[in-house]
Amino acid sequence: MAFFYSLDSTSPEYKLTLKHSNIPIFIPELACPHQCLFCNQAKISGQQEIPQPDEIPSIVDSYLDTMNDGREVEIAFFGGSFTGIPLDLQEKYLREAYKYLCEGKINGIRLSTRPDYINDKVIELLKRYGVTTIELGAQSTNDDVLLASGRGHKSDAIRKASNQILTAGFHLGLQMMIGLPHDTYERSRQTVEDIITLGADNTRIYPTLVIKGTQLAKLYELGRYQPLDLSTAVSWAKDFYLRFETAGVTILRVGLHASEELTHERSLIAGPYHKSFKELMMTEIWADILNQTLKEKRDQEITLEVNPTQVNFVWGYAGQNKKIFQEKNLTAKIRGNNSLSKYEVKII
């Protein structure tokens, strides 16, 4: 599978949570008229095998066979901008997915698209075929960043589309990218606030990478674009993640999905890519908590209890947070306690 950097897409990860799975169907937009600086759309449209509508049942059935454990399942059309393909073709794909919804075999249909590809006709079609969630590749709500990134629309398109989606009764997802051309911490922070205010119930945070064959790669080679370094990207993502959590916005993904092309075809030229980006971010969140919680502790044996989902993050990626204990000469044991909330710590 070729790497695609169409961030209007629902990323192809299989599992969102243990109890919720997506059946991913990759439908690249065949002829995207845009020129987003970061996107290698020649690869998206030229080299992908696109499943035809009549192939949808066999794809869905093969996934459903492995998902008969009571979990919530959604069919997810990702890759490019679904609503950018001709309406009659959209309808053919949706009709196949809708059959599964009517038969109660899936719980929802989600898709991703560009903000300026939402209009009344599209909304009516998606409603008629039971689509539940629409994710928009917002990327930024700063007009200067959108312009410098070649997005081809301004932030008012994001606001308008978000309103239309919510008014029609869909769940709204708004994805963002950090470190785009002309981006700053403050601009990304404002994007986070705008995503919350616009009423998104889910989001994805993607660091901007420099990918072979993109306009961004040319700018990078000319010295006119500098990506975020990994530690800055992790630190921004940490702040934004915590803010989204506080606001009750579900974060479906932080960091890019590791694709075969990234690792095998060396498409990545520069930028804050790490296969465990989210783990690095959680490591930093827990480093902050430990530094605060253990401020007064030195030279002793302690046991920390945390929520069981957090035990690995407390130690950190590759055990990075162990040094916090070592510097204080603390011998620590960490164990799970189901009664504690996500970031709560009990010292024994």
135 binds ligand SF4 (CB under 6 A): no
Bridge partners (DSSP) of residue 314 are none
CB of 27 to ligand SF4, least distance (A): 12
Q: Considering only 10-18, 35-43, 320-328, 330-338, which stretch makes contact with ligand SF4 by CB under 6 A?
A: 35-43
Q: What tokens appear for 186 in the block? A: 């403050």
The count of residues in the chain is 348
212 binds ligand SF4 (CB under 6 A): no
Complex with ligand SF4: residue 41 or 202, whichever CB lies closer? 41
Site for ligand SF4 in 44-73 (CB under 6 A): 44
Helix, strand or coil, per DSSP, at residue 92? helix
152, amino acid identity: G
Q: Considering only 31-39, 69-77, 272-280, 324-332, which stretch makes contact with ligand SF4 by CB under 6 A?
A: 31-39
Site for ligand SF4 in 232-251 (CB under 6 A): none
41 binds ligand SF4 (CB under 6 A): yes
Helix, strand or coil, per DSSP, at residue 61? helix
CB of 120 to ligand SF4, least distance (A): 21
CB of 152 to ligand SF4, least distance (A): 7
Complex with ligand SF4: residue 84 or 272, whichever CB lies closer? 84
User: Alpha carbon of 2 to those of 242, 266, 307: distances in Å?
Assistant: 32, 11, 38
39 binds ligand SF4 (CB under 6 A): yes
141 binds ligand SF4 (CB under 6 A): no
User: Alpha carbon of 7 to those of 36, 140, 194, 203: distances in Å?
Assistant: 10, 12, 18, 12
List the one residue from 2, 20, 30, 34 that touches ligand SF4 (CB under 6 A). 34
Task: Give the binding-site size for ligand SF4 (rule: CB under 6 A).
Answer: 14
Site string for ligand SF4, 85-114 (x = CB under 6 A): -----------------------------x
- Distance, in Å, from the CA atom of 201 to the CA atom of 195, rounded to the nearest integer, reads 9
Pairing of strands 346-347, 300-306: antiparallel
User: Alpha carbon of 251 to those of 17, 241, 346: distances in Å?
Assistant: 11, 7, 26
- Distance, in Å, from the CA atom of 257 to the CA atom of 21, rounded to the nearest integer, reads 16
H or E segment and range at residue 215 = helix 215-221
User: Alpha carbon of 303 to those of 281, 290, 294, 300, 317: distances in Å?
Assistant: 24, 13, 12, 10, 20
81 binds ligand SF4 (CB under 6 A): yes
CB of 13 to ligand SF4, least distance (A): 18
Residue ranges binding ligand SF4 (CB under 6 A): 6-8, 29, 32, 34-36, 39, 41, 44, 80-81, 114
